[in-house]
Structure formats: structure tokens, C-alpha cells
Amino acid sequence: MANQDKINELIEKRAKAKLGGGEKRIDSQHAKGKLTARERIDILLDDDSFEEFDMFVTHRTKSFGLDKQIFLSDGVVTGHGTIDGRIVYLFAQDFTVFGGSLSETYALKICKVMDMAMKIGAPIIGLNDSGGARIQEGVRSLAGYAEIFQRNIMASGVIPQISSILGPCAGGAVYSPALTDFTIMTEETSYMFVTGPKVVKSVTGEVVSAEQLGGAKIHSTRSGVSHFLAKDDETNLLLIRKVLSYMPSNNLEEAPILSCNDPIDRLEDALNEIIPENPNQPYDMVDVISIITDNGEFTEVHRNYARNICVGFARFNGRPVGIVANQPKYYAGVLDIDASRKAARFVRFCDAFNIPIVTLVDVPGFLPGTGQEYGGIILHGAKLLYAYGEATVPKVTITLRKSYGGAHDVMSCKQLRGDINYAWPTAEIAVMGAKGAVEVLEGSNIRKIEDHSEKEDYIQQKEDEYTERFANPYQAAKYGFIDDVIEPRNTRFRIVRALELLQNKKDVNPPKKHSNIPL
Ligand code: HXC
């Protein structure tokens, strides 16, 4: 063969590989409202930055007539490219080839990019759209999954791992995304479940659709499996770019600091008025966040799950931070099982990747009741406590209003190595609220009063006394548990300065094999 013929052969092979399962299947993919693996990569990466590996890999199975069905790339496109100029590794499952199902060689391709990402210290991104284990390959496919899981585990806390779910993701295949840091699901076209609707029906008799069982909405609101909900493939992919912008490429680096055109010392009078006079009246913590962060930006994680706590990424003077904030707008911002798990996982992510944590506190306590106790709130609440206490990144805490009881301790208090703890003058830092305290302390006296209005007056007087004495920031400030009581309108500046002060902070944990966080 002449050299030019050899080059032409290469060009033909490349063109063939790029067609995946062929035009018909590409049309069918588009008809479902989904993009192909390569179209997704084009959106995800910086222009012309994609370098593909293993385009000529094919499967090795001869049975079931597969020897006559050979597709170059074997159903997964792998390689590296850049996002905002930084290297990332990725794999994109190609549903047009055997429904994106995973063969032995397909798994090897994924493992190769995961290994490269670890060597180089770059994030790994998985674009999932697959019918799961390639049935014809049997246990070799299962082994391939396990190879991937093992790499997910080794990469955890070393390089950021992001999973987009852009189609089916079923059976044990769901465990790779579950092991990664963030999962983004596309509405209506993606679903995740360990066992599909048919198996559910045959085992339990329950009749449920794929969407109800494991659609993007369910996992973004009920289970918390998905951190972000995207309306379509493009939004999903652009969100990956955004989320990565807050992170370093690996755990030995710092996240990139952007130039900031938002004045750091702007005084926001609205904050002086944001806390309602009535302590039982809610306000929206996201309003506070968007007033104090650079250009009002807040990339909220788990926005629709456990809404009584907000977590997400923002910047102060260009420096990325993780924000954890009780949300009085939902259930008064109480801590419950889901909120504790959500925040604990986020705090641990930030700590693993050197992202400072800003905590905004307005928490009436833990949610009482059998539902929570039987569900193990003791263990789940301990996760958040543990995560804060274990974290060595800079921790800046602002108490806006309530900070009661165990929840006070959990929410990044001074003794959990909180570095800078400020409070607004409206803060109420105490063992419990006035109502509960008076019921406990004055119960026997109250019971002795027979006249109803006299009883009410007595309770009110005792509650006022308690509020006056304990429901303020000064008791905590008196002991140095709060470093300063600050004017709310100056909060942005105080946080920026605290973060700058803490940028070279060094804190270490004792040597150990690994911690034993309550699970
Ligand atoms: C081989 C598969 C496949 C699979 C789909 N295909 N899944 N081939 N192994 N797992 C093929 C189909 O035969 C079909 O080929 C093509 O992909 C497209 O599939 P369709 O069924 O036509 O597409 P659609 O109607 O969109 O349905 C998609 C689907 C369905 C819901 C994913 O294909 C499906 O239920 N597949 C099986 C899912 C499953 O049970 N997987 C195993 C899960 S257990 P042709 O040539 O006809 O177009 C698992 C264990 C992992 O994954 C364990 C890890 C520890």
C-alpha cells in the first residue's frame, strides 16, 4: 500500500469511528432529545482541545454474532482536553453502539484515562449514557465495572470526579457516579436505579415508571443522588465547566483565583434590615448570600434537596469558597438527617480540595421526633459535626440569628477549630430558645399558677428575662467563642479580610490510616 493510501485508510477509519453506531442510531439519539457522545465532548471542552485515545479499540467477543458487529471505539469515546485552559480527562459513553453497554475493552479504555488523570493530577469527567453491563460479555463486564469502581475510590479526594447522567444508568453501573464528587442529571432523558421498573414489579409488586423510580427530578429532590438538575444535555455539560471553575485540578493545588471587579468593601444596608423583628419569621438565606458574594454569584449544590440547608460555591474577591448556610425559609432552617448528610458531604469535599468554608448560621436546633431518631439523626448529625471538626481548610463562620444547642456546636463553632467566628448583633447563641428554656426551668412554678392570664403573664415575663439574658451574641463573645460582633452591612468586607488572613493557614490532623466517620 502506498503511503498516501495508508493515510487515506487512517482518515477513513477515523471517519468511521466518529459515526459510532451509524447515522440511523445517531438520528434515533437526536429524536430522544439527546446529543451523541462526540457532540457532548464538543460542548464540554475548550474549542479544538480534544485529543482522543483508543479510537481503534474494538471488543473481543465472538459469541452471539458479535464477531460480525465491530464498531471502532467500542461504544465509549475517551481522551483529554481543556476546560478554561486546564487539562481534564474524560470518557463519554456512546449509546449508539450496543446501547452504550460496557464491555471488557470499553472498561479498559475508561481505566486508562482514569489512570492518566491520577498521574497528571487532573479532573476526570464521565458522561454516562449506557444500558449497563454488555450482556454478551458476562462476568468480564462485571469485572470491568469493578476495575472502574476501584479507581473511583483511589481517586476520591485526590482529583475532582464529576459524573453527568445523560441517559440510562442502571444496575451496578450507578455506583461509579455515586463514588464521584458531583452528579448532574438531565431532566426527562436520564435515569438511575439499582433495579429497573420490571424487576421492582416482579420482586415487590410495585408498579412504577422509570421516571418515578429514578428520574432526574426524583434524585434531585428525594434521594439526593443527583447534585444538579439540568434541563437538557447542553445545560448539563456547561454546568460541569462552571462547577470545575471553583476547584483545583487536584488536592495538592489551590483553586484558581479570578480577578474580581466587585468592590470588596461595599456596605450593604439591606443586610442591617434583613433579619425580621419577629424571631419566628423566616427570610431567604440565599438573599444574604447573593448580597455578600462576588457579583451575587452562588452556584448552589443540591438546590432542591434538603432545602433547610444551602450549600454551594461562590467567590470572595475572586477566591472560591464553599458556603454552608442554614435556610430559615424551609422548616426554620432546622437540622435534620438529610440536611446533615448533605452539608457533611459538601464540607468534606471542600476540605479535600483546599476550598475554604464560609458558614452562615441561623439554626433553631435539630428536628425532634421519632421519625428523626429512628432514622438515626444521632449518627447523621454526627457526620456534620465530624466533617467540620476534621476540616483543616480556613473556616469562617457568621452567626446571623439563632444558634441553639447541639446545632450551635455542629455549625462550625470555635471549638471545632473555627478560625474566625463573627456574629451579627441579632444573633441568639444559647442552649435553647426562650420558650423551651422557660418550660424546662419554670415548669413547676408555671403549673402552680391557676389563673390563665396570670400564667401567661408569668411565662411572658420569664421568656423576656431569658431573651434579655441569653438570646444575644455577647454571652458567647464574652468567652471569646465569638471573635467579634459585626455590623451586618459590613459582612462582605469582613469575610474577604478573614479569608485573606487565613490564606496561609496550616492545620494538621494526627497521622492515621483513615478516619472512622459515623456512617
Ligand atoms: C448489550 C444492549 C444493552 C446491554 C442495550 N443494548 N442494553 N446490548 N448489553 N446491557 C442494545 C440493545 O440490544 C439495542 O441493540 C441497543 O442497545 C439499543 O437498545 P434499545 O433497547 O433499543 O434502546 P431503548 O429502547 O432506548 O432502551 C434502553 C434501555 C434498554 C432501557 C437501556 O436497552 C435496556 O433495558 N437494556 C438493558 C439494561 C440492563 O438490564 N442492563 C444490565 C444492567 S445490570 P439493537 O442492535 O437492537 O439496536 C448491570 C450490572 C452492572 O449493568 C454491574 C456492575 C457492578
Q: Could you read off the pLDDT of 124-165 as tens digits, one per residue? A: 999 999 999 999 999 999 999 999 999 999 999 999 999 999
- Measured in whole angstroms, how far is the alpha carbon of residue 259 from the centre of its chain? 25
* 257 is a domain residue: no
Place of cell 476534621: 390
Which CATH number covers residue 75?
A: 3.90.226.10
Residues 160 and 53 in one domain: yes
User: DSSP letters of 196-218?
Assistant: -HHHHHHHH-----HHHHHBHHH
Mutate-to-test residue for ligand 1 from 98, 179, 189, 192, highest number of ligand atoms within 8 A of CB? 98
Which H/E stretch holds residue 436?
A: helix 434-448
Residues 27 and 95 in one domain: yes
Residues 442 and 298 in one domain: no
* 251 is a domain residue: no
ipTM score above 0.95: yes
* 19 is a domain residue: yes
Cα 142 to ligand 1 centre (Å): 15
Percentage, residues of the chain above pLDDT 70: 100
* 507 is a domain residue: no
Mutate-to-test residue for ligand 1 from 23, 27, 135, 200, highest number of ligand atoms within 8 A of CB? 135
Place of cell 443540591: 302
Residue among 407, 434, 476, 477 flagged as catalytic: 407
Residues 6+ apart with CB under 8 A from 83: 44, 45, 46, 240, 241, 244, 245
Helix, strand, coil % (nearest 5) of the chain? 45, 20, 35
Residues 395 and 326 in one domain: yes
**Beta strands per DSSP E along 174-308:** 182-186, 191-193, 228-230, 299-301
Residues 6+ apart with CB under 8 A from 275: 283, 400, 401, 424, 426, 488
Whether residue 62 has pLDDT greater than 90:
no
User: DSSP letters of 351-403?
Assistant: HHTT--EEEEEEE--BPPSHHHHHTTHHHHHHHHHHHHHH--S-EEEEEEEEE
Residues 292 and 427 in one domain: yes
* 260 is a domain residue: no
Q: Are 396 and 498 in contact (CB under 8 A)?
A: yes
CA angle 198, 203, 209 (to 5 degrees): 35
* 317 is a domain residue: yes
Residues 190 and 334 in one domain: no
Confidence at 412, pLDDT banded by 50, 70, 90:
very high
* 156 is a domain residue: yes
Place of cell 461595599: 266
Residues 182 and 223 in one domain: yes
Please state the domain count of the chain: 3
Is the minimum distance from the CB of 167 to ligand 1 under 6 angstroms?
no
Residues 373 and 421 in one domain: yes
Active site residue 406: yes
Q: What is the pLDDT of residues 439-461, one digit of tens each?
A: 999 999 999 999 999 999 999 99
Residues 313 and 327 in one domain: yes
- Measured in whole angstroms, how far is the alpha carbon of residue 183 from the centre of its chain? 8
Look up the domain containing 186 and give its range.
3-245
Whether residue 433 has pLDDT greater than 90:
no
Q: Say what the pLDDT of residue 442 is.
A: 92
* Averaged pLDDT, 25-54: 98
Active site residue 75: no
Q: Say what the pLDDT of residue 401 is.
A: 97
Whether residue 67 has pLDDT greater than 90:
no
Could you give the CA distance from residue 49 to residue 126 in angstroms, rounded to a whole number?
A: 17
